[in-house]
Structures are given as C-alpha cells and as structure tokens.
Structure 1
C-alpha cells in the first residue's frame, strides 16, 4: 500500500529530474501511484531513471528538455500529454547555483542562473498552465531556497533568483487558487544534490565547513516533504515550507 494514496492516478511533471532532489521526487511520486514525466537535459540519466521506475512497477516517461528553450518546453508538453494525458501536478525543481564575487563573477554565470531559475521556471509554468487550470484539482510546487531570505557571501545573484521564485509563488496563489490550483513554495536548506559538485575554491570550502557543522538532508527526505504536501485533501494548501536539517539555523 502506498504511503500517500491521494497521489495514485495523478500525472506529474518534475523538472531537473536527472539527479538529486528532482530524481528523488520523481521516485516518490511513482512509488505512490502517480504517472511521472521526467524532464531534464541529460537524456541518458532520465531514461535510466524512467527504466528503473518502470522496473519497480511504476509509470514514468523520460522527456529530454531544456527549460531555457521555448521550443523544447513546448515539445515536452506535447510528449507528456500524448503519453499520459492532462498534467495535474508540476514540480519546478530545475536550478543552477554558481557562487561568485559580485565584482568579478562572469556575467554569463548570472545569466545562466536567471535563465534557469527564473525564466525557465516561468516558461514551464506558462506551458503547463492550461493543463493545471483545466477542470479538477491541481498542484504547482516551486522549489526555491532558504537563500531567498538569508544572505551568504558570493550568493547574491543566486539568492535573488530564488527570492523571485518565492515572490512568484506568493503572487500566483491569488491567480491560480480560485481556479483550483494549489501553489506551494518550498525553501530547502542544505540538501544533498549535484549543485555542490562544481563549486570549488573558497566557496566550496565554505560549503564543506557549513555542512560539517550544520548537517545536510538527504534528497529523499525532501522528496517525502513534497509528496506529503501534494497528497493532502484538495482544500488544504501547505503554501510555504522551509525544510532544514534540525542543526541548521
């Protein structure tokens, strides 16, 4: 028996599903009976995950998608609708984190974060809004970050991009809530993911020291928070969640 029975029969889209939080969310949804479309650029990784989900008895579709491209996202909508029908659950999880000194960081790094974390999220939202607002209950989950509120050296632009996600989520409740769409904004603290892998130098050392002192959540633990949230009765909206290790403050 699934832990969250209200997920059974739903159709979910998860962006950034190739690894970390996105992959864990996709697996949690599938394990509870949802059909899951895995969206990410790395086609081999999401195909491997889709194969594993199906081998475990779930339903999954790998859709190679670049959320910085209108054409790619539009094609993803077509593919998901053809395979699974209407989407009633979207998780905007794809994100990029590139720390850098405000006076020296390459502008291209800032543009990459804004294109993915803000514009990419909006592109996915716009593309799937007709599905979400069709007859019946639906969920939109945006994965923001505690960095939307707290300040960290060299994370100014990343934090600004996540603050935008939090603001968008707050505003959308007035627009989509009356149409039956719950909007949940989740702000994780330290969680295991590949965002850490390419961060080196002083920024990498800072993260390592912080994790050593504050601890870190497993991706599966955050995925359980998301699955719990979207499986509540339709009239209940857990609209804002900050999820941290107990020892992070």
Structure 2
C-alpha cells in the first residue's frame, strides 16, 4: 500500500541500508517523498537507492555514522545541498547487543548508548531547524523515532538495550512537549519481534536459541510491516499526531 499524499516532502531515514530503515525508505519514496538514506554501508545504501530509482522515485545515498557528530553534520550538509530543507526525519539506526549485566561488557553498553541514544540526538540536532522551519511555513513536519517494546517489557539479558530504548521513548514524549506547540509532530514507534539484522548481532549460542524460540513461538513482523505503519503515521492530516504506536505480532503478548 502506498500513501499518495507524501508528494513534495523530503525525508531522512537513518539505518537505511537494511531492515526497517531500508523498508521505510522504499515506502516513503513509493509514496512520493524524496528520500535521503543514511547508513554506514555504502554498497547496501546504493542497492536500496537503485531500487527506489528503478521504481521512479528520487533518493540520495549518504554514508554516515550516527555515533560520530562530524559524520552526521557532514551528512546533513550533503542532504541540504542535494534536496534543501527536510520535513520528515525517521530515527531508525540502532544496535542490539544482549548479554547478562554481570558480564560487564562496557564496550557493548557504550556502543548501544552511542548509537541508540546519542545517535538519535545527533540526528535531531542536525535537522531540528529544518522541521521547525517547515512547520512554521505551514507544511507538515514529522519526527519519527523507532524505539522498541523493550522500553517497557523486561527481557532477561536485554537490560541495557531496553534501557536505551526506554530513553528514546521518554525522549520522544518530552520532545512532543517542545515541538507540538510549534506544529512539529513527534511519533514514537515501539516494534515487537521483527525480522531484521539486529538478531545477527547476538553473541552466544544460548542467547541465539532463546531469541529463535521466541520467533518460532510467536512469529515476527516483517520490516515492510513497520514501513507500512510509518507511511500511515506521516500521511495523516497535519493536525493529527499519532504520538505513540506499539506494534507487535498478533501472538506476542
């Protein structure tokens, strides 16, 4: 399903080389938006951009690392040079590295914090001016943050990951208090079990089997399901803000 009223909008999607980010970029472009795809893997980005262009869409691949402030700013400069002002930002880049807390994996904790929390803030800083200005001109402006049901549902060994996503959820709520009065919509999306590359980051056979058992027992959402949801959220009338959306496989409780 495509949403035809995104024509004329300019979007930035992070973590767009695969999974949810790639699917969201494809869906937004299919619905008429110009899309800048940000991620670290140039080859994967170009593959997604090629698909968009083959379908008649307009897209730009921008290599960027959300854990690096200079990289994010350079990406913003490239987007502005190519497309001008942005009115739709999807903060999707994330990493999931579950391990028991008593393993003391500070390296993993720091990576998740840098990507899942500070990365969101870096992207926000780079494009806040665009969103506020677009809204002030009477245009629709959206910030969509992809969090997780792990923000409020406890999964053993996922404590730090869940904490980073809880930060994103609370940040989204707080940002809406700042941006809503200026007509910038903020939406926090919390997916449940979703079939993406995040599962490949899991170390240890026992943890992998635990997650595989959850997928076998409950099934999983596809990245395209999340893309369809994001497309719906950002295509609502300008005065309608779907502020918090939790989406799970039907069997996940």
Q: Structure 2: how far apart are the matches of 1:157 and 1:141?
A: 22
Tell me which residue corresponds to 2:199. 196
Q: Deviations over 1:69-125 (max 9, x none)?
A: 111111111111111111000000000000011111420000000000000000100
Alignment of 1:213-228 (within 5 A): 213-228=217-232
Q: Does 1:160 align with 2:159?
A: no
- The TM-score with structure 1 as length reference comes to 0.98
Match of 1:210 among 210, 214, 230: 214
* Aligned counterparts, 1:78-227, within 5 A: 78-134=77-133, 135=137, 136-199=139-202, 200-227=204-231
Deviates most, 156-165 or 198-207: 198-207
**Paired residues, number:** 248
The Cα RMSD (Å) is 0.9
Q: Are 2:235 and 1:236 equivalent residues in the alignment?
A: no
Looking at structure 2, the residues matched to 6 and 165 of structure 1 have their Cα atoms a distance apart, in angstroms, of 28
Tell me which residue corresponds to 2:70: 71
CA distance in 2, matches of 1:80, 1:20: 22
Cα shift readout 1:191-231 (whole Å, capped 9, x = no counterpart): 11000113232111110000100110111011100000000
Matched, 1:248 2:247: no
Structure 1 stretches of 4+ with a deviation exceeding 6 A read: none
Structure 1: unaligned runs, 5 residues or longer: none
Counterpart-to-counterpart distance in 2, 1:162 and 1:45: 25
In 2, distance between residues paired with 1:204 and 1:166?
26
Q: In the alignment, which residue of structure 1 is the partner of 2:36? A: 37
